[in-house]
Amino acid sequence: MTTAFDPQALMAREFAPIVHRYDTRDTMLYALSVGMGTDPLNADQLRFVYERDLQALPTMVSLLAYPGFWADDPTTGIDWRRLVHAEQAYVLHTPVPVAARVVGRNRVSAIYDKGAAKGALMVQSREIVDADTGGAIGTVTQTTMLRGNGGCGGCEGAPAAPHALPDRAPDATCDLPIALGAALLYRLNGDFNPLHVDIDIARQAGFEKPILHGMCTLGVATHAIVATMLGFDANAVRGMRVRFSAPVYPGETLRTEMWRDGRVMSFRCSIPAREVVVLTAGRVDLA
């Protein structure tokens, strides 16, 4: 029996802590899945896919202690078939360790009602700490548009306004091809949603073929930012925020446009062949 959607109950919902142990193999797999290592003779790329002097890409924090897809639990009242990933953000208190045992504590921190016709925005926050030392690693925030759950109330106020991109030409642009098998590789990081591999399920969802994971698109964009603007120093990143605006298909080329203003970088991503923006209002905070 499905429970009625109740924003207050969701914000009070308790999630069991997630203990996650990962090693250097997982860190290298993540980097490979977002395009690092495509040139095995590039010493800079090897820093992410070779155990010697290994460093983790900052977006990997979003994989740590992930609570899984829980919105399809009937007790949530969420119309999970109509939800879409709207925004992703994280703040790092330390560079992502290349191997660790971590604990993640997830909660629904806010729900903003946009009306019955638009839906509701649900914000999840996850605090990640080192399981052995208790040291804070980072906070991951995910915003989901619940298209079928508007008109039910929620928090006072409104979500934070999107980051404004600079009103000038980009300081740099990077085009990165996405492999045809990218979704098959990325799903090995733990996101086994069949939408990204099963053509029948993709068509049922309204797509011509399986789409790329949104978090894989963000990882490829981070690859472009680290390579183009940061000299492959991923540890310079201390936070990121971005909005998802359209899906990407494996085999396409992702164009990342970047601006730098001191310790803040802005970015947006598009698919030139389709003339569509897929990531927007992107912001990177630097150490």
Known catalytic residue at 196: yes
Known catalytic residue at 213: no
Catalytic residue among 113, 191, 213, 223: 191
Alpha carbons 218 and 207: distance in angstroms, whole number:
20
Q: Which residues contact 22 (CB under 8 A, 6 or more apart)?
A: 64, 99, 100, 102
Contact 124, 107 (CB under 8 A): yes
Q: Which residues contact 156 (CB under 8 A, 6 or more apart)?
A: none
Catalytic residue among 196, 198, 213, 223: 196
DSSP state of 128: E
Name the helix (H) or strand (E) containing 190: none
Task: Read off the amino acid at residue 261.
Answer: D
Q: Which two tokens stand for residue 82?
A: 């109509």
Longest dimension (CA), the chain: 57
**3-class DSSP state for residue 81?**
helix
Tell me the catalytic residues.
191, 196
